[in-house]
Amino acid sequence: MLTRVNEHPRQAAVRHLVTTDGMTRADVLRFIHLAEYLRGLPRERLRQRLPGRVIATLFYEPSTRTRLSFESAALKLGANVVGAENAIENSSAKKGETLADVFRIVGAYADAIVVRHHEPYTMAEAARLSPVPIINAGAGWGEHPTQALLDVYTISRELGRVEGLHVAVMGDLKYGRTVHSLLNLLRLFPGVRVTLLHPASLGLPEPLAHRLRSEGLEMAEATDVAAVLPKVDVVYQTRVQRERLERPEELEGAGQFRIGPRELGLLPEHARILHPLPRVDELDAAVDEDPRAAYFRQAENGLYMRMAILDDLLGGNAV
């Protein structure tokens, strides 16, 4: 929900980014446009966007790319950063403090809070009580909206459009929060077709699949990777979220849904491989040098998209 209004008396309206639900195609395009604009600004002008603002980063789960890209984005815009890594151990969360109280308190110190949390649903409700914008940097197996925005930004940069593309999402679709948010945004673009490739036990949660289909996203299920890859424009590979598995049997068949030199050879020349990273064994390093491997460019795009998100929510000077 991009424009949720909280009820805190200090401010009449605070915008948060805690879910892709409620986002419009215009919202996504605005962020893409702003990311591209900020990408082209000289350093001195960037530092004038959010001078003196304080961004708090609270990470209750491990992160490298998301945390560092948000912190780098804030610094490049002239803001300052305070935060807690491994906050589940190094903050009052260890004493049982609720996320709602954390937002109230940290919101008194900072101008925005970037938070990664292990619970998929807590953040949206707690955000209602925050006096400053809350940005969801990943919530359990639920959503990862800023990753989805940078994923769509990457598709747009790499292929020049999003509309009408055939996108395969492959790997752990059950616990892969980046997939959940990405599909929610892809439904906003006309003509997008999605093929789901996954182990039997790691499919998309049925309520989400049902909702996406009912809202017009064309999705098909497939198991033959070799038959699908020659037909796609984008393949979005994810790792198995082993830390979230409910039972070891869910891993069965996962080895069939990976990308190596053989699968690379099946992709069209124009296609692109995306991956939110980190990778384990589902994406062979042997494909890294191929121009279709876009995942490192995708990670770089995350810096500019997160600059755009901070700039937009904190009222940096518009384009």
Catalytic residue among 144, 174, 180, 272: 144
Burial label for 70, CB within 10 Å (0-12, 13-18, 19+), is: buried
Residue 11 has pLDDT above 60, yes or no: no
Is the model's pLDDT at 58 over the cut of 50?
yes
Helix, strand, coil tally for the chain in percent (to 5): 40, 15, 45
Given a cut of 80, whether residue 91 has pLDDT beyond it is no
The yes-or-no verdict on residue 316 having pLDDT over 90 is no
Confidence of residue 94 (pLDDT cuts 50, 70, 90): low
Confidence check: pLDDT of 18 > 80:
yes
As a whole number of angstroms, the distance between CA 134 and CA 231 comes to 39
Evaluate if residue 6 carries a pLDDT over 50.
no
pLDDT digits (tens, 9 = 90+) for 223-236: 999 999 999 999 99
Q: With CA atoms as reference, report the closest residue to 311 among 110, 103, 37.
A: 37
Q: What are the tens digits of pLDDT across the range 150-201?
A: 999 999 999 999 999 999 999 999 999 999 999 999 999 999 999 999 999 9
| Rg of the Cα atoms in the chain | 19
pLDDT over 90 at 249, yes or no:
no
Whether 171 contacts 204, CB under 8 Å: no
Kindly give the residue spans of alpha helices, DSSP state H, lying in 23-95.
Answer: 25-39, 43-46, 65-76, 87-90
Average pLDDT, stretch 51-73?
94
Active site residue 193: no
Give yes or no: 95 in active site. Answer: yes
Catalytically annotated residue among 65, 117, 174, 306: 65
Q: Residue 5: what pLDDT?
A: 45
The first and second tokens of residue 242, run together, are 């082993």
CA separation for the pair 260, 229 (Å, rounded): 12
Annotated catalytic, 275?
Answer: no
Position 248 scores a pLDDT of: 77
Q: Is the model's pLDDT at 247 over the cut of 90?
A: no
Residue 66 annotated in active site: yes
d(CA 72, CA 147): 16
Pair 59, 117: CB distance under 8 Å: no
Strands 134-139 vs 112-117: parallel, antiparallel or unpaired: parallel
Q: pTM for this structure?
A: 0.93
| Cα–Cα distance measured from residue 60 to residue 99, given in angstroms and rounded to the nearest whole number | 11
Q: Is 144 a catalytic residue?
A: yes
